[in-house]
Amino acid sequence: MQNTVVYILFMVSGCTSLIFEVVWFQWLELVFGSTTLAISTILFAYMLGLGVGALFAGRICCYLKNGVRTYGIIEITIGLYALVVPAFIALYPGINSVITSSVSFQVASVIRFMLSLAVFLVPTFLMGATLPVLIHALTHNKKPIGHSVATLYGVNTTGAVLGVVAATFVVLPMVGLQFTNMIAACLSMLTGMLAIFLVAPKYELHGKYRVQTVIQRPVLYGRERGLLFTSFAVVGASGMAYEVCWSRALGMVFGSSIYAFAITLATFLAGIAAGSLLIRRYIQTRNPGSRSYTAGLLLLAVASYVVTALLPGMPDMLNGLFMQYSISSIWLMIGLLQGSILIMLVPALLLGAMFRLVVNALEPNTKAGGGAA
């Protein structure tokens, strides 16, 4: 039961994180523009913070006595930081006007990246740290680490989908950027306080945990682990490249409004969440190693090639939709949703499943169990 509460809180974290992303992206796009280079620069700064935060937390989480309490502190810090983000961004229009008139395009792009990083680094670093911290907290029970990874990753990404949709289609049209940011900040701080005062006391560690053997398969060491880490880093890079390129391609056909951004991003995230959750049964029954991950790589390559070949047919899909119905914003969004599902869903499912497969391949054949020794 207590794990279920943590999963719910982490889903809310995913929701608030993507609300922040949508709001902050909109603010920075108003300053820097909505060109492909500008959006890619902002996205790169955002993802860099997430990656660095996850790597750092993965190194230190084993020293934490109560990961849930640490998670709560992180969420409160993110919420407090979000409240001062508007003050930072208010300075940027003046800075942007200076750099665009006084330096070259290349130098201006670098400066914009540094300005984006200045906004995103602290909160995204903290957001990236939450998953390793909670994994450490939840794996001091009788379930293997992979079960917690799959569930946490899946529910967090599901929350992210809800955050994108809620922010874009409900909250932003009703209250605007400023109040949407404030609502998400308050929700993040509330999540942190619930984690600290309601859930964390149940996760205090006392003594040492026994380790017992589970289903055996070859353990990867040294070079094999390095190759898996490297290959999955390439998968992550290619996944982001797919998302950016396919979103821009769909935007060229259906338009590049904030609603188009939300639909394509939500479709991509929904596929990742579903892939991570659907693969759990296969892993629980088969306990696959690196061969299944390699097979997933091949399937992803084939799927990416196939869906990229489908992109030239998108204008015909839009024309057919308008000929059958009418030219309106509603049918435009419906066509974009259909195109996003057709192009993004299968690769996203594979990306979500492969995260779980690579974790299982790297996971030792042990689990924490039996309580304190």
CA distance 232 to 43: 19
Q: What is the DSSP string of 92-158?
A: HHHHHHHHHHHS-HHHHHHHHHHHHHHHHHHHHHHHHHHHHHHHHHHTSSSS-HHHHHHHHHHHHHH
pLDDT at 268: 92
Triad 48, 49, 53: Cα angle to 5°: 120
pLDDT at 44: 79
CA distance 2 to 194: 12
HSE of 266, CA atoms in CB hemisphere, 13 A: 24
pLDDT at 326: 65
- Extract the runs of DSSP E, i.e. beta strands, from the chain: 209-213, 366-372
> Residue 158 class from Cβ within 10 Å (0-12 exposed, 13-18 middle, 19+ buried)?
buried
pLDDT at 327: 65
pLDDT at 35: 65
pLDDT at 313: 83
CA distance 94 to 316: 43
Taking the chain (373 residues) in consecutive chunks of 10 residues, what is each chunk's mean pLDDT?
A: 85 94 86 70 80 90 87 96 92 84 81 83 93 83 58 89 93 93 97 94 60 44 76 88 84 79 90 88 78 90 89 79 70 82 92 86 51 32
